[in-house]
Amino acid sequence: MSNIKEAFKNGKAFIPFITCGDPDLETTKKAVIEAERNGADLIELGIPFSDPTAEGPVIQEANIRALKNGITTDDIFEFVKELRKVVKVPMVFMTYVNVVFSYGAEKFASKCKETGIDGIILPDLPFEEKGEFAEIMKANGVDLISLIAPTSEDRIEMIAKEAEGFIYVVSSLGVTGVRSEINTDIESMVTLIRRNTDIPCAVGFGISTPEQAKAMASVSDGAIVGSAIIKILAEYDTSAPQHIGKYVKKMKEAI
């Protein structure tokens, strides 16, 4: 059993996403530490991939920058091992099936356990095809986190019943990225989820402002923000961590 439930013990959870190695791992480390210090309850770490199909241009560009720097999955595991010496909140990876498959699923899962990763999000893994990964992850105490989207409809009940860690509720159709407004009926989705599981659920995709975070957290258990944080990294480069800290504080206070 992972520690993910700890993220939701003290009210609504704020969950920032940070791409590992953009612009370098030292900056990633400082950004994660600042995020935790300023109220992040759980942190998503992106493992860069050359074809991140769920990502919009902001996170795609972060992946490209990190890969150009020569970042590898092994580098990231070593990085997480060091990070775990100072960061106590739960941490999960967000990446793609091919990254895990090419590394070797058993080896990947055991490395997650060894380094202190609590869960993994694979947005391109269909629920019906999760079996092979799910068993390996579970054997290593790593939660395979399910996503529920506006298009899940009659599959929501089925996905919720088998959920682990927390449920990632996708707020909007399309890819990640800042949106001016979110019009999906999140409340109805969450109501159906809660009828079928007591696993917490947090909303992501498109959230960037304190007002949006507050609105999404008011009908769920937390808010996830990625692109808005990656934009800060793109703008401030190695001096971004202090700005990320201020942003996280503002968002956490809002929810």
How high is the pLDDT of residue 151? 82
Average per-residue pLDDT for the chain: 92
Q: Which residue has the tokens 């659920």?
A: 201
How high is the pLDDT of residue 14? 98
Bond into 150 cis (ω within 30): no
How high is the pLDDT of residue 171? 81
How high is the pLDDT of residue 176? 46
pLDDT tens track for 156-182 = 999 999 999 999 999 865 444 444 455
pLDDT tens track for 83-133 = 999 999 999 999 999 999 999 999 999 999 999 999 999 999 989 999 889
Lowest mean pLDDT among 38-47, 50-59, 125-134, 208-217: 50-59
pLDDT tens track for 130-155 = 988 999 999 999 999 999 988 887 89
pLDDT band (50, 70, 90) for residue 237: very high
Q: How far is CA 74 from CA 20, 21, 27, 43, 88, in A?
A: 12, 12, 18, 19, 21
pLDDT > 70 fraction of the chain, expressed in percent and rounded = 93
> Which domains, and CATH codes, for the chain?
4-254 (3.20.20.70)
Residue 210 belongs to what H/E stretch? helix 210-218
- How far apart are alpha carbons 101 and 76 in whole angstroms? 16
How high is the pLDDT of residue 54? 61
Residue type, 84: R
Residue type, 233: L
pLDDT exceeds cutoff 50 at 204: yes
114: Cα within 13 Å, side-chain hemisphere = 11
Higher pLDDT, 132 or 199: 199
How high is the pLDDT of residue 236? 98
Question: Are the C-beta atoms of 58 and 176 separated by less than 8 Å?
Answer: yes
pLDDT exceeds cutoff 50 at 247: yes
204 closest CA partner among 76, 61, 49, 42 = 42
pLDDT band (50, 70, 90) for residue 51: confident
* Token digits of residue 132: 């092979």
pLDDT band (50, 70, 90) for residue 183: low
What backbone phi and psi angles, to 5 degrees, belong to 49? -140, 145
Residue type, 147: L
Residue 148 belongs to what H/E stretch? strand 147-148
As a whole number, mean pLDDT of residues 227-241 equals 96
Give the total residue count for the chain: 255
